Amino acid sequence: MNETKKARSSNIEMLRVVAMFMIVLFHITCHCIVPQLNNAGTPMVSYFTQPIFHKRLLLLDWLNTLGIISNAIFILISGYFMANRESTNIKLGRIAQKLLLQLGFASLLLVCIPPLIHLMNPGFPMNMQGIGIFNGMSWFAGYYFLVVTCGALFFNNFLHQLDREKYAAFLLTLFAFIQFSWSRGRVEALAAGLGTVLTGLLLYALGGFIKRFEPFRTIKSAAFVSIIVLINGLVLLSGYNLTENKILSFLRQGGDKLPVPVIPSYDNFTIVVIAIAVCMFELFRRLTLPQSRVINYLGKATFMIYLLHDNEFFYSLWHHRNWIATLADGSAVFSLHLLKWASFTFLLGVIAYGMYGLSAKLYRRYQHLFRKDPMGNEAAQPAVRRDTPTPHTRNSATPPPAP
């Protein structure tokens, strides 16, 4: 189908790759750099806890938005390709199998490889994992699957009944519902995380709306770039305001403890996150890229990359560097090391996905060693290829297999 081909368009796959790299940068920031900044025992941390504003911390303010924006992008992509499908065309079993198999393979690697590193270098500090990581890894996998399940069970059917005007009104209403703190709070009071689910459904439906009605076709790309720049400017200004408030409070009231800079965090429902995600999605959607097997392969590997790196084992590896001292040395040096560590982490995820694909091929090749055939024999032997086609095969509409 044409839609299936579009699902592997290299421009969208490039967006997946960029979004995943943003997530890796974000996880290094929120799980390693910010904790080091908040730890009074970190060497050189006093450089940033003096009662003055350090411009270099603006880089952390920006980095701390990247992962949540990327989560929104992945849900938008799914809605773009799935929200307009008939519910019967969404194979939940196949999606669940794909997610569970990759989750299991990533868990296997994280349980088995760290002990090997420990045996070769016992003094190497790291957090080794137990098999329970299978059930505790990557909240996003469950978030994504819940949104897609809602789409298959009822949400797609509901969206199909809406014309453009009603669809837009529904999106605006749902957006307002999660933006107003009181209404969102009442939903969260019913069940923790329900506000995040509604945000996911909003993004999923918005992706389908973009695919179905092309609402931004009259808006120039420069407008989306300007919105991204403007919102990021407000993010940096917000980081400055919050830290400066803390400094002023310290100077007025005094105290023994120096003020720790504030690095704001952002939730999935935040307007900053949704607006930048939509702008990035639309910009990449407009790109005209030739089909690239490399980009498409990296795009398919993104879920494995997500699973592999978001855990205590990788957090402990990232903590090997004193990021605060590196940032104190200079923003350029800090950025270079951050890109290096993020690229290395990303590459390990790609290698893990390659190992996963190879394992799947080996299983398909040798599954007869583990499975009985339908007739109940001991093992189903692989089919024997014929070098010479039978007369029936020659006369059939299907061409004979190549020798």
In the chain, what are the domain boundaries?
2-381
What mean pLDDT value characterizes the chain?
A: 89
* Over residues 162-187, mean pLDDT: 96
Whole-number pLDDT of residue 124: 83
> Percentage of the chain with pLDDT > 70?
90
pLDDT digits (tens, 9 = 90+) for 344-402: 999 999 999 999 999 999 988 988 888 877 665 554 455 545 454 544 444 433 444 44
* Over residues 185-199, mean pLDDT: 92
* Over residues 171-187, mean pLDDT: 95
Query: What is the model's pTM?
Result: 0.88
* Over residues 52-64, mean pLDDT: 93
**Confidence band (pLDDT; 50, 70, 90) for 158?**
very high
CB count within 10 Å of CB 78 equals 20
Contact 352, 304 (CB under 8 A): yes
Of the candidates 299, 147, 148, 283, the one whose C-alpha atom is nearest the C-alpha of residue 225 is 283
* Over residues 290-309, mean pLDDT: 94
Whole-number pLDDT of residue 250: 86
* Over residues 120-141, mean pLDDT: 86
pLDDT digits (tens, 9 = 90+) for 25-47: 999 999 999 999 998 888 888 88
> Which carries the bigger pLDDT value, residue 1 or residue 301?
301
Q: Which of 70-74, 166-170, 398-402 has the lowest mean pLDDT?
A: 398-402
Whole-number pLDDT of residue 377: 56
pLDDT digits (tens, 9 = 90+) for 100-117: 999 999 999 999 998 998
Whole-number pLDDT of residue 132: 85
pLDDT at 236 over 60: yes
What is the C-alpha separation between 128 and 317, in angstroms, rounded?
11
> Which carries the bigger pLDDT value, residue 395 or residue 244?
244
Place of tokens 């970190």: 42
pLDDT at 48 over 50: yes
- SS3 string, the chain, reads CHHHHHCCCHHHHHHHHHHHHHHHHHHHHHHHHHHHHHCCCCCCHHHCCCCCCCCCHHHHHHHHHHHHHHHHHHHHHHHHHHCCCCHHHCCHHHHHHHHHHHHHHHHHHHHHHHHHHHHHCCCCCCCCCCCCHHHHCCHHHHHHHHHHHHHHHHHHHHHHCCCHHHHHHHHHHHHHHHHCHHHHHHHHHHCCCHHHHHHHHHHHHHHHHHHHHCCCCCCCHHHHHHHHHHHHHHHHHHHHHHHHHHHHHHHHHCCCCCCCCCCCCCCCCCHHHHHHHHHHHHHHHHCCCCCCHHHHHHHHCHHHHHHHHCCHHHHHHHCCCCHHHHHHHCHHHHHHHHHHHHHHHHHHHHHHHHHHHHHHHHHHHHHHHCCCCCCCCCCCCCCCCCCCCCHHHHHCCCCCCCC
Contact 178, 202 (CB under 8 A): yes
Whole-number pLDDT of residue 127: 86
pLDDT digits (tens, 9 = 90+) for 134-149: 888 789 999 999 999 9
